[in-house]
Amino acid sequence: MIIVMLGNIGTGKGTQGKLIMKNYNIPYISTGDIFRENIKNNTELGLKVKSILNDGKLVNDELVNQIVFDKIKNLDSFVIDGYPRTIYQAEKFENFVNNLNRKLDIVFSIIVSEENIIKRLTGRRICPECGKIYNIYFDKPEKDEICNFDGEKLIQREDDKIEIVKKRIEEFKENTEPVIEYYRNKNILYEIDGEKEIFEVFNDIKRVIDDYIKK
Ligand code: AMP
């Protein structure tokens, strides 16, 4: 089964993608995580894409496609998050999958209001020591900007700063909204309300997947 997680930034598609991975025991691939991991490890790829991510722009289509194709070439089932993000990627992805005699099964579009997306992302703070994630609007630490567990000063992801978040939202509208329409026209798009609690959102997702499996 091939599942695609679409949706604006900050809608929780990564969280839901990982829940799908655990529940259905299929690999989870996130292009954003691949880039961040490479940046952290100072690899050649990381050095190439660091300023693009920090600027809230999109990495070159051919490069992303190459990375994804290499990851999925031997996988029968997977859930992919953050890809495809442009019509060009969507078309090449479909060709690649079809050439392997497989097809995309389900595309989820998770929907959250722009106001909440901005709060979720610009409010996010991370402990550099233990990785615990807080939110200054929804899930504050006991002391401002300090981790409850180890007293470390919390940090903000470079691309969670307001001006970059706004750019990323614009990038989504320009490039990825057309991808959602593309899948809507193919009748494989399922829209999910992402404003609910994490497990309620997952229940909605699970219902779609379970119905699809039964058919
Ligand atoms: P994400 O965590 O999915 O929001 O991705 C973080 C960043 O990685 C994006 O803002 C882009 O710079 C880059 N990125 C991730 N996936 C893609 C993609 N499919 N196409 C182009 N750039 C991507």
Q: pLDDT-derived band of residue 159, with 50, 70 and 90 as boundaries? A: confident
pLDDT for position 2: 98
Is 128 contained in some domain? no
Give me the residue label for tokens 């880039």.
35
Does residue 207 carry a catalytic annotation? no
Is 165 contained in some domain? no
pLDDT for position 54: 87
Q: Please list every protein residue whose CB sits less than 6 Å from any atom of ligand 1.
A: 9, 31-32, 35, 52-53, 56-59, 64, 82-85, 89, 168
pLDDT for position 198: 94
128-140 per-position pLDDT tens digit: 999 999 999 999 9
Cα–Cα distance, 44 to 61 (Å, whole number): 17
CB 123 within 8 A of CB 135: yes
Distances (CA, A) of 44 to 35, 38, 47, 128: 11, 8, 5, 24
Instruction: Give the domain range for residue 180.
Output: 2-113+175-214
Cα–Cα distance, 31 to 89 (Å, whole number): 12
Q: What is the mean pLDDT of the chain?
A: 95
72-105 per-position pLDDT tens digit: 999 999 999 999 999 999 999 999 999 999 999 9
pLDDT for position 116: 95
Is 181 contained in some domain? yes
pTM given for the model = 0.91
In total, how many domains does the chain have?
1
Mean pLDDT on 37-48: 95
Is 99 contained in some domain? yes
Q: In ligand 1, which atom is closest to the CA atom of 53?
A: 12
Distance 142 CA to ligand 1 centre (A): 32
Query: Helix or strand or coil: residue 127?
Result: coil
Q: Does the pLDDT value for residue 55 go beyond 90? A: no
Q: In ligand 1, which atom is closest to the CA atom of 35?
A: 8
Distance 214 CA to ligand 1 centre (A): 33
Does residue 168 carry a catalytic annotation? yes
Q: Does the pLDDT value for residue 25 go beyond 90? A: yes
| Alpha-helical regions (H) of the chain | 13-24, 31-40, 44-54, 61-72, 87-99, 114-122, 162-171, 177-185, 198-214
183-213 per-position pLDDT tens digit: 999 999 999 999 999 999 999 999 999 999 9
Q: Does the pLDDT value for residue 126 go beyond 90? A: yes
pLDDT for position 85: 95
Is 28 contained in some domain? yes
Does residue 102 carry a catalytic annotation? no
Short-list 119, 124, 201, 194, CA closest to 155: 124
Percentage of residues of the chain with pLDDT beyond 70: 100
pLDDT for position 163: 94
Angle at which helices 31-40 and 61-72 pack, to 10 degrees?
Answer: 100
Q: Does the pLDDT value for residue 158 go beyond 90? A: no
Is 132 contained in some domain? no
Is 153 contained in some domain? no
113-122 per-position pLDDT tens digit: 999 999 999 9
The CATH number that applies at residue 19 is 3.40.50.300
Distance 161 CA to ligand 1 centre (A): 16
pLDDT for position 83: 97
Mean pLDDT on 50-67: 94
Distance 124 CA to ligand 1 centre (A): 18
Is 49 contained in some domain? yes
Query: Helix or strand or coil: residue 125?
Result: strand
